[in-house]
């Protein structure tokens, strides 16, 4: 269980903008086996034609963010030879905001349908998720292991683990309890979305230049849409169901046995729990600790994130 550290510095706010010329943004309907149809917005960035194709990377964002979270890393990952697909998961960004379906196995199913049925991806994919997206990434790899080349996830206490049970009621993650209260959080947050979201960015960032006012504006617009805060809270309201599902799966099926990597910020309190938590649910794994980063790794130190992900997936044949 090697622990790798990256030492790339985070970019300054004046760093040149990364080209988005290859990005394709689409909003498409998908239909689940339960006959529910929702619309999923995603970014699709193919590898350059001059580079040998190495596989597909699925990036899954967290809360309170959208696919915008990965803005700095999409093109660099693609430049290395990967097709990079970055959806807004159900309830977030420009995707549909249904009342139900926020169990992480359902959110993983949404993305599996997007990749396999809509985008026609045939090869095994590399799944990367952060925060809530880390929970979805684990659910994806657990349920579609035959189609998963590798899984990288982190910066979340995974429901079903002892670490989750230890921290879920702590002040540090007060929102786990607050979000689970019916109706009240929506009433208190409505009209104050920017104040609420800014709290999370300020509390969990180490690189203070990572999430700029214009980024907060974008996230605020996203979570001010009708149904968006309700959907974001519903993601949390099913954590106990997720915990039961994950624990039962490990008990009956066993620990996940696909190449696995944990990704954590060096300045994040969660980094201390990385190895024991991953050990509960993975047969084997590596841990990537990204320097100069708190909770928002792909935004705070995108070069370190890209370096660590490419080093890991580059060892695996999709």
Q: Domain of residue 109: give its range.
A: 24-314
pLDDT tens readout for residues 122-138: 999 999 999 999 999 99
Instruction: Kindly state whether residue 8 falls inside one of the protein's structural domains.
Output: no
| Mean pLDDT, rounded, for 283-290 | 98
Instruction: Kindly state whether residue 228 falls inside one of the protein's structural domains.
Output: yes
Q: Specify which residues 38 forms β-bridges with.
A: 30
What is the Rg, in whole angstroms, of the alpha carbon atoms belonging to the chain?
18
In this structure, what CATH number is given to the domain that contains residue 278? Answer: 3.40.50.1820
Q: What's the structural domain count of the chain?
A: 1
Instruction: Kindly state whether residue 155 falls inside one of the protein's structural domains.
Output: yes
pLDDT tens readout for residues 212-223: 999 999 999 999
If you average pLDDT over every residue of the chain, what do you get? 94
Instruction: Kindly state whether residue 7 falls inside one of the protein's structural domains.
Output: no
pLDDT tens readout for residues 235-248: 999 999 999 999 99
Asked if pLDDT for residue 16 goes beyond 90, the answer is: no
Instruction: Kindly state whether residue 63 falls inside one of the protein's structural domains.
Output: yes
**How many CA within 13 A on the CB side of residue 136?**
29
> What distance separates the 2 farthest-apart alpha carbons in the chain?
53
pLDDT of 250: 97
pLDDT of 3: 53
- Pairwise CA distance, residues 289 & 197, whole Å: 25
Instruction: Kindly state whether residue 17 falls inside one of the protein's structural domains.
Output: no
Per-residue DSSP letter, 89: P
254 dihedral zone (left: phi>0; alpha: psi -120 to 50; beta):
left
131 dihedral zone (left: phi>0; alpha: psi -120 to 50; beta):
left
206 contact partners, CB below 8 Å, separation of at least 6: 265, 267, 268, 292, 293, 294, 300
């Amino acid at each position: 269980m090697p622990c790798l550290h990256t030492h790339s510095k985070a970019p300054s706010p004046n760093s040149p903008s990364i080209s988005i010329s290859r990005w394709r943004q689409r909003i498409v309907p998908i239909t689940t086996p339960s006959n529910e149809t929702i619309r999923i917005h995603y970014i699709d960035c193919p590898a350059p034609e001059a580079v040998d194709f190495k596989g597909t990377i699925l990036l899954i964002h967290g809360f309170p963010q959208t696919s915008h979270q990965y803005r700095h890393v999409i093109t660099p990952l693609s430049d290395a030879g990967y097709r990079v697909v970055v959806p807004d998961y159900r309830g977030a960004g420009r995707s549909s905001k249904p009342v139900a379906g926020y169990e992480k196995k359902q959110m993983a199913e949404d993305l599996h349908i997007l990749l396999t049925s809509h985008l026609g991806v045939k090869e095994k994919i590399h799944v990367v998720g952060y925060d809530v997206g880390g929970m979805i990434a684990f659910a994806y790899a657990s349920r579609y292991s035959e189609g998963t080349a590798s899984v990288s996830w982190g910066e979340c206490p995974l429901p079903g683990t002892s670490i989750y049970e230890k921290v879920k009621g702590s002040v540090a993650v007060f929102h786990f309890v607050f979000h689970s209260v019916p109706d009240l959080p929506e009433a208190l947050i409505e009209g104050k979305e920017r104040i609420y979201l800014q709290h999370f960015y300020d509390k969990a960032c180490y690189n203070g230049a990572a999430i700029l006012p214009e980024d907060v504006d974008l996230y605020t617009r996203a979570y001010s849409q009708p149904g968006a805060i309700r959907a974001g809270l519903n993601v949390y309201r099913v954590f106990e169901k997720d915990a039961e599902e994950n624990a039962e799966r490990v008990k009956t099926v066993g620990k996940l046995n696909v190449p696995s990597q944990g990704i954590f910020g060096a300045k994040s309190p969660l980094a201390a729990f990385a190895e024991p938590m991953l050990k509960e649910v993975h047969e084997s794994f590596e841990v990537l600790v990204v320097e100069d980063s708190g909770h928002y790794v792909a935004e705070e130190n995108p070069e370190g994130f890209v370096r660590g992900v490419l080093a890991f997936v580059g060892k695996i044949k999709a």
